Amino acid sequence: DDNIIEDENSGGMKQVRISGVEATFSFILRF
């Protein structure tokens, strides 16, 4: 069970990083 929780946390971190990258590109494209 512990391994499953760690996997979920890792996936969450990846999603956050991807969202940050998309936000950065969107910000740059606006200018």
Q: How far apart are CA 23 and CA 10, in angstroms?
A: 20
**How confident is the model at residue 15, as a pLDDT?**
62
Residue with tokens 């740059």: 28
> How many domains does one find in the chain?
1
Amino acid making up residue 15: Q
Tens digits of per-residue pLDDT, 1-31?
555 555 555 655 566 666 778 888 888 887 6
**How confident is the model at residue 8, as a pLDDT?**
58
Model pTM score:
0.34
For residue 14, the enclosing domain spans 1-30
Q: How far apart are CA 3 and CA 21, in angstroms?
A: 27
